Structure 1
């Protein structure tokens, strides 16, 4: 799944191995992989975030189906030697934006972006997402100021829960 159309540097280690392992199976099941995160510590957690390709909101049954398939793959391949907690979830309404297509799909909504370097003197941006240009520059308007953030400089991005986003989410459920 990971290529130049996704946020952040190409990740390595456990998350990359797991992404390569589970992405084809999740895609074949009719879902899209949104994010894989592995956090260590006292209680290591593997988070698999997915969404349905048909646009229907994820259900508990969808998450359980993905969890069963991913667990079977991970049991066979055993990419994590220690005990860990598997968490399968949907991206939710205030979802992370991880691919270039997300910045087009969610244009018009409020977004928070953290850059991995200073851009126009700052690393954090919040405002209305205007979209992404062909050259890979994400445009965000904060009041009267428009910021242009190179896609490859984005460390994290997510939608901000607003009334507009809530309305769009409930409208999508009605269709």
Structure 2
């Protein structure tokens, strides 16, 4: 997905720190809202994520952020598991969830709409293929603002 320059800078700085601690860097969200800005970092591990894992990663990331100071305004740092409704950031992540139900929100309307919820049918080039009812949409990953797996309970 298209990331802002700030998000790219933060990802390049923080991903190696997360991975050096033995976790997978799943992605990040940076929401700039003055004093209420939030930097949310998602981590994953094959054995799952516990609160202690988030605290450990948070301490390390805080130390790096304090030294590097990439965000000049006040913000809150949150470290979290991606959870069951995990956000999807990369084509590789979308590929892992083919066959699942996903919700996708675009930055700009595509065929008259910005929100899509349906079965993830695949990835073609740099497009994510989502089937909504009986129609397939090829959504360019660069135009996706936010995407999540929708948990299905039987």
Distance 2:37 2:139 in 1: 33
Distance 1:156 1:111 in 2: 11
Residues 126-145 of structure 1 aligned to structure 2 (within 5 Å): 126-133=117-124, 135-145=125-135
CA separation of 1:80/1:137 partners in 2, compared to 1, >3 Å: closer, same or farther?
closer
TM-fit CA distance, 1:56: 2.1
- Name the stretch that deviates more: 82-91 or 55-64: 82-91
Residues 88-167 of structure 1 aligned to structure 2 (within 5 Å): 88-133=79-124, 135-163=125-153
TM-fit CA distance, 1:25: 1.2
Give the equivalent residue in structure 2 for 1:50: 43
TM-fit CA distance, 1:125: 0.9
Q: Unpaired runs of 5+ in structure 1? A: 1-6, 165-175
Distance 1:11 1:139 in 2: 24
Q: Unpaired runs of 5+ in structure 2? A: none
SS of the aligned residue for 1:91 comes to coil
Residue among 24, 27, 33 paired with 1:40: 33
Q: Deviations over 1:54-100 (max 9, x none)?
A: x2211111101111110111122222334432211111110111010
Aligned residues between the structures: 153
Contact 1:114 1:154 in 2 (8 A): yes
Structure 1 or 2: more strand by fraction? 2
Confirm whether residue 73 of structure 1 aligns to residue 61 of structure 2. Answer: no
Could you state the TM-score of these two structures normalised by the residue count of structure 1?
0.78
Give the equivalent residue in structure 1 for 2:14: 22
Distance 1:29 1:77 in 2: 19
Q: CA RMSD in A?
A: 1.8
TM-fit CA distance, 1:113: 0.8
